[in-house]
Amino acid sequence: MVHEPIDVGFADDLLGKLSSLFAQYGDAFRVFSPITQSHIYVLSHPDHARHVLVTHHDNYTKGIGIERVGILLGNGIMVSEGELWRRQRKMIQPAFHRSVISGMLQHIAAANLQLSDKWVGYANRKQEINVTQEMSEITLRVVLRAIFGPDIDKMSTPTGANPFSLLTEETERNLAFAYKFRLLTKLVMECVDRRRTQNEKHSDLLGVMMAARDRKSGEPMADRQLLDEVMTLIVAGHETTASALNWMWYLLSQNPEIEKRLHQEVDNLQSLPITLEDTMRFAYTRQVIEETLRLYPPGWLLTRRSIEADNIGGYSIAPKTEIFISPYLLHRHPQFWDQPERFDPDRFEPDRIEQRNRFVYLPFALGPRACIGEHFAMAEMVLHTALLARRVHLHYVPKGSVELEGQVNLRSKHHIYMQLEIRRP
């Protein structure tokens, strides 16, 4: 195995470095991080992903990546481990049941229809849009509505502004941001208290989590834990979808043939999708999103730490060893993907998926710690794409380069701008 020194600070173009080391050394290499004074194994074969995330998952905790977001998320399910994580996951899972998601679709559709009216207005005025910013705003709106239901309208600052807007206005995810973000737990607690005193029952994510009871003890979540879970869902549900949709619009603008096929599908829309099954019928739209998530997986780096010694595909792993599994690298693995750099949604036709090793595609991770919001996110992204692509066509406006930024999420380094053309007034 090859040894290379590496700085694991995200500021140091970790994505670029890992990509070039992968190109040089392939499936397995080891780097040394002078900052943490530890070795990190970077494993990029689907068998490695299956081993660490699925078959031997109980020998791994989350690694250094998660320590970065701990200050932001507290001890919510993204961060917690062991018995606490297991209990919380069971209690939160019902909030992502198909019926709960279906109940949210009309709100998601309404928010996107409103956005499409706004975009048509921009198009009429020949005003370009900042897609990166627009995606950040719409996905924040959707996730907040999903969590707080109609109560989100009651949660405003003294000046009437949305108190959560710092998530779209501030791009840094540093300590100063974490401090301001955590102050918002006060507002969330007020919302929880109001619901309790007025004995209100809601079917939004907060409502389902407040009603959840631990199977063994019959107890609800402690307030502090509930707050950590709410803050986790806000962050996990916002930036990921925002970044995926930002890349999707960019990719569509660069691939007119694919956009044309997408238009054929979304132009057939007879009525608004109101169940999860309805959103499944947008087969090509889904493929476009899946292919976007292949090329630009928002959660581009999964970090894990071994508990006991292990052997992964012939490599001996000592206890407490850091492991990186990068969906970004696996999704571009030349052994498993033909012309990996090409944007080709046909890769996600059902028979082609079946022929492929299923552990080589993991935008939502795999195994017990896979994304809890996958179906919600897919439904949200399909609805957004269908409703917006019907109304407008987006032309890329070059303003500087399009570059990747592998922070906690895979973002575009610079904002992406588009000119709008009306398809349906």
Helix (H) or strand (E) holding 30: strand 28-33
> Are 384 and 245 spatial neighbours (Cβ–Cβ below 8 Å)?
yes
Min dist CB 28 to ligand HEM, Å, is 20
Per CB under 6 A, the list member of 18, 43, 78, 386 interacting with ligand HEM is 78
Handedness of CA 135, 137, 143, 145 (dihedral sign): negative
Asked if 299 is part of the footprint of ligand HEM (rule: CB under 6 A), the reply reads yes
Asked if 251 is part of the footprint of ligand HEM (rule: CB under 6 A), the reply reads no
Residue whose CB is less far from ligand HEM, 273 or 373: 373
Helix (H) or strand (E) holding 124: helix 98-124
> Are 136 and 409 spatial neighbours (Cβ–Cβ below 8 Å)?
no
Q: What angle do CA 79, 246, 338 make, to 5 degrees?
A: 90
Asked if 63 is part of the footprint of ligand HEM (rule: CB under 6 A), the reply reads no
Residue whose CB is less far from ligand HEM, 48 or 393: 48
Place of tokens 């599994």: 325
Asked if 240 is part of the footprint of ligand HEM (rule: CB under 6 A), the reply reads yes
Asked if 232 is part of the footprint of ligand HEM (rule: CB under 6 A), the reply reads yes
371 is in an annotated binding site: yes
Residue whose CB is less far from ligand HEM, 331 or 347: 331
Min dist CB 128 to ligand HEM, Å, is 25
How many residues line the site for ligand HEM (CB under 6 A)? 25
Q: Helix 374-391 vs helix 256-266: angle between axes, to the nearest 10 degrees?
A: 100
- AA identity, residue 205: L
* Stated length of the chain: 425
Place of tokens 């009309």: 106
Asked if 302 is part of the footprint of ligand HEM (rule: CB under 6 A), the reply reads yes
Min dist CB 153 to ligand HEM, Å, is 19
Asked if 143 is part of the footprint of ligand HEM (rule: CB under 6 A), the reply reads yes
> Are 100 and 203 spatial neighbours (Cβ–Cβ below 8 Å)?
yes
- AA identity, residue 130: N
Residue whose CB is less far from ligand HEM, 62 or 347: 62
Q: Considering only the stretches 20-28, 163-171, 291-299, 311-319, report the one whose residues sit in contact with ligand HEM under the rule CB under 6 A.
A: 291-299
Indicate the residue whose CB is closest to ligand HEM: 373
Report the Cα 295 to chain-centroid distance in Å: 14
Min dist CB 350 to ligand HEM, Å, is 21
Asked if 241 is part of the footprint of ligand HEM (rule: CB under 6 A), the reply reads yes
Q: Considering only the stretches 155-163, 183-191, 232-240, 337-345, report the one whose residues sit in contact with ligand HEM under the rule CB under 6 A.
A: 232-240
Per CB under 6 A, the list member of 129, 233, 295, 317 interacting with ligand HEM is 233
Min dist CB 159 to ligand HEM, Å, is 28
Residue whose CB is less far from ligand HEM, 182 or 423: 182
Min dist CB 235 to ligand HEM, Å, is 9
Min dist CB 143 to ligand HEM, Å, is 6
| Contacting ligand HEM within 355-394 (CB under 6 A) | 363-365, 369, 371-373, 376-377
CA distance 379 to 29: 37
Min dist CB 375 to ligand HEM, Å, is 9
Residue whose CB is less far from ligand HEM, 273 or 363: 363
CA distance 285 to 293: 13
Report the Cα 346 to chain-centroid distance in Å: 22
Q: In what order do the strands lie in the sheet with 322-325?
A: 3-5, 28-33, 38-43, 322-325, 302-306, 60-62
CA distance 306 to 198: 47
- AA identity, residue 117: D
Per CB under 6 A, the list member of 101, 104, 244, 266 interacting with ligand HEM is 244
Which positions from 18 to 57 touch ligand HEM by CB under 6 A, shown as an x/- string? ----------------------------------------
> Are 184 and 163 spatial neighbours (Cβ–Cβ below 8 Å)?
yes
CA distance 244 to 359: 20
- AA identity, residue 394: L
Min dist CB 301 to ligand HEM, Å, is 8
Alpha helices in 198-222 (DSSP H): 205-211
Identify the bridge partners of residue 130 per DSSP, sorted by sequence position: 417
Phi then psi for residue 33, to 5 deg, are -100, 110
Residue whose CB is less far from ligand HEM, 123 or 228: 228
Here the tokens at position 274 are: 């109101």
Binding residues: 371
What does the binding site for ligand HEM look like in residue numbers (CB under 6 A)?
62, 77-78, 89, 143, 232-233, 236-237, 240-241, 244, 293, 298-299, 302, 363-365, 369, 371-373, 376-377
